A and B are shown apart, each in its own frame.
Chain A
Amino acid sequence: MKCQYCEKPATFHITEITEPSGSQVMHLCEEHARGFLQKEEANPVASIASALAKQLDLGQTKKELEELDRKACPVCGISFFEFRNTGRLGCPFDYSHFASDLTPLMTNIHDAVEHCGKRPRRSAAADKQAQMIQLRREMEEAVEREDYEKASELRDELRRMEQMDEGADAS
């Protein structure tokens, strides 16, 4: 099957269900599909992101992709596979952990890879914030396996770290 807009083979088949006239099936080549998916914000952002994320496949071998999919964030535990499928990241640290994998995606979505604009006046000590996210996760896991002693230890540790933040705020 050929692409609806050019002579290239249609490799993307997209069903658009937000058209007023009902659903519409699009048969597009890679280039036109890319353009179509990028301009369409009427779809939930999730589907765009996952579609774009799937484009990462292009140019990657199956083995490389499988490896990437297994890669997981040490802080929140999300795997790249899970991100690709939901279009949502798990925690701020993912942007550092998956930085090189996210860069092609950023280019795809924004045609840019670097922020220019406003910066917050205060910056977080990234290590400490990541540690707090990790503690929250460990605490939840402890509750799930009913290890309440561990959970309460972790909670105390979190409270201590939060209070240090509050103290820093006040000064």
Chain B
Amino acid sequence: MKQTTDFGELATRSGEWMRGTGPESDIVVSSRIRLARNLADFPFIRRCSDEDRISIERTVRAKMEKLEGWKEVHYFDLEQLTEIDRQFLVERQLVSREIADADGARGVAVSPTEQFSVMVNEEDHLRIQVMHSGLDLKSVWTQINSLDDQLESSILYAFHSTFGYLTSCPTNVGTGLRVSVMLHLPALVITRQIEKVFRSMQRINVTVRGLYGEGSQYSGDFYQVSNQTTLGRSETELVELVGDNVVPRIIEYERKARQYLLDEGKQDLHDDVSRSLGILSTAKKISSEETMHYLSKVRLGLNLGLIDDLAVGTINKLFMQTQPAHLQKLQGRLLRSSERNVERATYLQRHLSDAFGD
């Protein structure tokens, strides 16, 4: 395992899950599973002394260093990183906002392709996560299951014969497993059916949460679907509930809505998409919310064949790299909000004109 604080390399490329490939990737951005695990011989995080946290972090790090095949895994000591660097990891979805903002000894191990990360001292001692591009939950489960086996071979987990894997919050107990599928649903938003679709989901133990742009007038039209319960169903059942039962239904609704938009108002949609691309490639300053809003339209246009010469992976990459910490890492200096808006516009202009080859 490599201890590192160097983000230069990470900043210029994007993680495997951002490629924009994989099954149903016109609608499904990514498939993620996380497992919550705790060490058997320490109190849960809230009850830990500073010394306990240090011991946990050291113990886990030392065990991970000895694991086979972990030579190329990066380890970030979050306590040592600057706020911008921690924010950068949040934007890449490698760590949670909670662990980024917390205090005390904590860290994260990240695989070179960014497909997996293991947070140490989050709400639970270990939060293992695996993320793939597109709808790919079965192989995500296979990967995280063997990662969990590997960690378990050297770390004794807190486990109860009735309640399963023990977690600090009883909402995660049992499997400790949370499946999250990120969906891009612009057509359901435009046709105002999104609320209705989600209301119909609530009876089947899944939760839906809007991502990005919350609380602002712009939305990126991204939604995350997760299992609500973790106890009483096996890991495979939970994966199937979300991946085979719920998500395909939402995909079908979104496809129908997209077809409806093409049938009933192709010109309006084409106009909207083209204007969005126009704003993104010519604006001189632009906020991150506005960027998400227009990138979402462009992503839709691209998937419907209204624009070509651009790859979905490029759009995914722009979503990430126009976020505040990424812009600042790419520039190599701190930028105020107004400076970021100018920098973001410049960045978009450069990358979109590159993509068009002029």
A contact set with B: CB distance below 8 Å: 18, 20, 38-42, 45-46, 48-49, 76-78, 86-92, 95-96, 99, 102, 105-106, 109-124, 126, 128-129, 132-133, 136-137, 139-140, 162, 165, 169
A9 to B317, CA, bound (A): 51
Give chain A residues whose Cβ lies under 8 Å from the Cβ of B175. Answer: 115, 117-118
A122 to B219, CA, bound (A): 47
Distance in Å from the Cβ of A50 to the closest Cβ of chain B?
A: 10
B215-242 residues at the A interface, CB under 8 angstroms: 215-216, 219, 226, 228-237
Q: Are A89 and B44 in contact (CB under 8 A)?
A: yes
Give chain A residues whose Cβ lies under 8 Å from the Cβ of B163. Answer: 95, 99, 102, 106, 114-115
Q: Which of B105-113, B149-157, B268-276, B343-351 is near enough to bind chain A? A: B149-157
A20 to B162, CA, bound (A): 40
Q: Are A90 and B43 in contact (CB under 8 A)?
A: yes
Confirm or deny: B139 has a beta carbon within 8 angstroms of a beta carbon on chain A. no
Q: Are B40 and A92 in contact (CB under 8 A)?
A: yes
Q: Are A40 and B174 in contact (CB under 8 A)?
A: no
Q: Are B40 and A129 in contact (CB under 8 A)?
A: yes
A126 to B160, CA, bound (A): 9
Distance in Å from the Cβ of A115 to the closest Cβ of chain B?
A: 3
Q: Are B174 and A88 in contact (CB under 8 A)?
A: no
A111 to B47, CA, bound (A): 28
Confirm or deny: B159 has a beta carbon within 8 angstroms of a beta carbon on chain A. yes
The residue of chain A having its C-beta at the shortest distance from the C-beta of B207 within the complex is A41
Give chain B residues whose Cβ lies under 8 Å from the Cβ of A45. Answer: 123, 169, 171-172
A124 to B156, CA, bound (A): 7
Interface size on B, residues (CB 8 A): 58
Confirm or deny: B73 has a beta carbon within 8 angstroms of a beta carbon on chain A. no
Most buried by A among B51, B210, B232, B233: B232
Confirm or deny: B288 has a beta carbon within 8 angstroms of a beta carbon on chain A. no
Most buried by B among A18, A49, A110, A123: A110
Q: Are B156 and A88 in contact (CB under 8 A)?
A: no
Most buried by B among A118, A121, A126, A140: A118
A48 to B175, CA, bound (A): 19
A129 to B174, CA, bound (A): 19
Distance in Å from the Cβ of B241 to the closest Cβ of chain A?
A: 13
Shortest beta-carbon contacts, A-B, top 5: A112-B232, A115-B164, A92-B158, A117-B234, A110-B231
Q: A95-B163, A136-B49 in contact; A105/B156 too (CB < 8 A)?
A: no
Q: A106-B231, A110-B174, A119-B159 in contact; A76/B43 too (CB < 8 A)?
A: yes
Q: A110-B232, A115-B163, A140-B49 in contact; A88/B44 too (CB < 8 A)?
A: yes
Q: Please tell me which one of the listed residues B159, B169, B177, B219 contacts residue A49 in the complex, with CB atoms under 8 A apart.
A: B169
Confirm or deny: B308 has a beta carbon within 8 angstroms of a beta carbon on chain A. no
Give chain A residues whose Cβ lies under 8 Å from the Cβ of B234. Answer: 116-118
Q: Are B52 and A136 in contact (CB under 8 A)?
A: yes
The residue of chain B having its C-beta at the shortest distance from the C-beta of A137 within the complex is B43
Known: A109-B231, A115-B162, A129-B156. 11 other contacts (CB 8 A): A41-B226, A41-B228, A89-B170, A91-B43, A106-B173, A109-B170, A110-B174, A118-B175, A124-B157, A162-B41, A165-B156
Confirm or deny: B145 has a beta carbon within 8 angstroms of a beta carbon on chain A. yes
Most buried by B among A18, A119, A120: A120
Give chain B residues whose Cβ lies under 8 Å from the Cβ of A41. Answer: 207, 209, 226, 228
The residue of chain B having its C-beta at the shortest distance from the C-beta of A122 within the complex is B156
- 27 CB-based A-B contacts, threshold 8 Å: A20-B216, A40-B207, A41-B228, A45-B171, A49-B169, A87-B171, A88-B44, A88-B45, A89-B44, A89-B169, A90-B44, A90-B46, A92-B166, A95-B163, A96-B160, A102-B163, A106-B173, A110-B229, A113-B162, A113-B231, A118-B165, A122-B156, A124-B157, A124-B158, A129-B40, A136-B42, A136-B43
Q: A112-B233, A121-B152, A133-B41 in contact; A39/B160 too (CB < 8 A)?
A: no
Distance in Å from the Cβ of A82 to the closest Cβ of chain B?
A: 9
The residue of chain B having its C-beta at the shortest distance from the C-beta of A140 within the complex is B49
